[in-house]
Structure formats: C-alpha cells, structure tokens
Amino acid sequence: MYSKILVPVDGSDTALMGLNEAIKVAKTLGSAICLVHIVNEFVFDYAYSPAAYAAGVIDGLRERGKVIIADAAALVRAHGLEPSSVLLESIGGPAADLIVAQATEGHADLIVMGTHGRRGLRRVALGSDAEQVVRMASVPVLLVRNERPAAAMVPKAAA
C-alpha cells in the first residue's frame, strides 16, 4: 500500500514522534523510509552581519542538519530498516513547499510528520508547516500530535 514513506525531521521531540510512527508503519507494511531535513537560511539575516560570519552560520546549520539526519537514520536502522535521506536548503521558503516537492520527486506514497497541534492564536502566530503539507500534498499525510488534546487531559485533584 505505502511503499515509500517521507519523514521530515528537525531534531525536535515532535519530529521524533512522527519518525517513531513512520517506523511502525514501515515495519508493518514493509515500506522504505526517506528522511528529509530542511536547512532554512531565512533564519539568518545577511544584511546585518559580515559575510564571513553569515557563511559560518549557514555552514553550522548544514552540519547540524547532517547530525539530525544521521541520528534519525540510526534510529531507523536500530529497528532493522535502511533509510534513505535528503538534506534540502531553502532561502526563506516555507518548509512545507519543500516537503511536498520532495514527496513528489521521491515518489513517496505517504508523508508522516509530527505536529504540535497548535490551535487559535498560537497557530496563527507561528504558522503550521504540517497544515500546509496536508493542504498541498497529493499523497496521504499522517500527522502525529505531540500534545494531548485538552479533552483527554485528566484534571488534577484538589489538595
């Protein structure tokens, strides 16, 4: 059913939850996993920094991305699967655009990613790559929430 699963990873606990779910699906269905990490150069404004410093920061972001991919790949291998991986770079573009493009280019049948499950003003202020991926992807997207929904939380007993 799903022969190739694309999993965006960024080193966060939320992404790890998505990766763990993708591993479960891959093991059950015999799917391949492709890890993707996006180095977004937009987080750094070149206009206010010397070029040499800016280049050093970008190199650092790339190196950190390689570590994130390597750590995620090690986890996948620990479960008996051999992942492929892609490190993408963007200058200010939304991560969602690159995730969807990579899913298309890499012939992924499913995208599995973690989401913070933000609502209201937090979602408006911070945006949601996961929401954009769901809206744009031509393949199914499985979102794994990092936060329990408020209705599922058990109230603390009054002392």
Overall domain count for the chain:
1
Considering the chain, what is the average pLDDT of its residues? 83
Give residue 33's region: left, alpha or beta (phi > 0; psi -120 to 50). Answer: beta
Between CA 126 and CA 86 the distance in angstroms is 25
Q: What is the dihedral of CA 76, 65, 130, 20, to 10 degrees?
A: 20
Sheet holding 141-145, edge to edge: 84-90, 32-40, 4-8, 110-115, 141-145
- Checking if the pLDDT of 147 tops 80, the result is no
- Provide the domain limits for residue 64: 9-148
Determine the average pLDDT of the residues in 65-81.
97
- Segment 77-105 shows an average pLDDT of 93
Q: What is the pLDDT of residues 4-60, one digit of tens each?
A: 999 999 999 999 999 999 999 999 999 999 999 999 865 545 555 555 455 667 788
> What CATH number is attached to the domain comprising 129?
3.40.50.620
For the segment 66-95, the average pLDDT, to the nearest whole number, is 94
Residue 4 lies in a domain: no
| Domain assignment present for 46 | yes
pTM: 0.80
